[in-house]
C-alpha cells in the first residue's frame, strides 16, 4: 500500500522569505500523480500544485514550486516570497495512475501547519 509522510508538523517563515515543506512517499508503482493542497482557516482545501510522475520537469505555479526526486520518492514544496495569506495547513497527496476505480482516491500525509510572521 502507498503511504505519504510529512515529517514537519509545523513550520514558520517570515514574510518575503522562502520556506520548503517536505514530503516523502512510498510506492511500488511507476506512474502516479503527486499534489500539494492548502487548507486555510476557512477549511476550504485548495490545490496548490500537481506533478505527474512521468514528467521529469518540476512543476511551478507562480511563487510555488516543487522539487520532485522520483528515485528518492521525495516531493517537497518551496514557497518563495512568503505572504501572510500563505499561512495554512499544507497536505501532500498521492494518487495512483493505474486502475480506474482504485486509482482515483487520494492518499494524504498528516499535514504541515505553516505560520507566516510579519
Partner 1 sequence: DVKVTQSSRYLVKRTGEKVFLECVQDMDHENMFWYRQDPGLGLRLIYFSYDVKMKEKGDIPEGYSVSREKKERFSLILESASTNQTSMYLCASSPGDIKAIQYFGAGTRLSVL
Q: Are 66 and 72 in contact (CB under 8 A)?
A: no
Binding residue (CB under 8 A) for partner 1 from 14, 26, 60, 106 = 106
- Distance, CA of 58 to CA of 36 (rounded, Å): 13
What residues numbered 29-88 form the site for partner 1, per CB under 8 A? 33, 35, 37, 42-47, 50, 52
- Distance, CA of 118 to CA of 116 (rounded, Å): 7
Q: Are 67 and 74 in contact (CB under 8 A)?
A: yes
- Distance, CA of 19 to CA of 39 (rounded, Å): 17
Q: Report the residue number, 81 or 98, with the smaller CB distance to partner 1.
A: 98
Binding residue (CB under 8 A) for partner 1 from 56, 57, 62, 101 = 101
Beta bridge partners of residue 112, listed in sequence order: 90
Of 11-19, 57-65, 78-86, 98-106, which part binds partner 1 (CB under 8 A)?
98-106
For residue 7, the minimal CB distance to partner 1 (Å) is 13
Burial class (CB in 10 A: 0-12, 13-18, 19+), 70: middle
Binding residue (CB under 8 A) for partner 1 from 91, 94, 114, 116 = 91
Total of residues contacting partner 1 (CB under 8 A): 28
Residues forming the site for partner 1 (CB under 8 A): 4, 6, 9, 33, 35, 37, 42-47, 50, 52, 91, 97, 100-111
Amino acid at each position: 500500500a502507498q503511504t505519504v509522510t510529512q515529517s514537519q508538523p509545523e513550520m514558520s517563515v517570515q514574510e518575503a522569505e522562502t520556506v520548503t515543506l517536505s514530503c516523502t512517499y512510498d510506492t511500488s508503482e511507476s506512474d502516479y500523480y503527486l499534489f500539494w493542497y492548502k487548507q486555510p482557516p476557512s477549511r476550504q482545501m485548495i490545490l496548490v500544485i500537481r506533478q505527474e510522475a512521468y514528467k521529469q520537469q518540476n512543476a511551478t505555479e507562480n511563487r510555488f514550486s516543487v522539487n520532485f526526486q522520483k528515485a528518492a520518492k521525495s516531493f517537497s514544496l518551496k514557497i518563495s516570497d512568503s505572504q501572510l495569506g500563505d499561512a495554512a495547513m499544507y497536505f501532500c497527496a498521492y494518487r495512483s495512475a493505474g486502475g480506474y476505480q482504485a486509482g482515483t482516491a487520494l492518499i494524504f500525509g498528516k499535514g504541515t501547519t505553516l505560520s507566516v510572521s510579519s
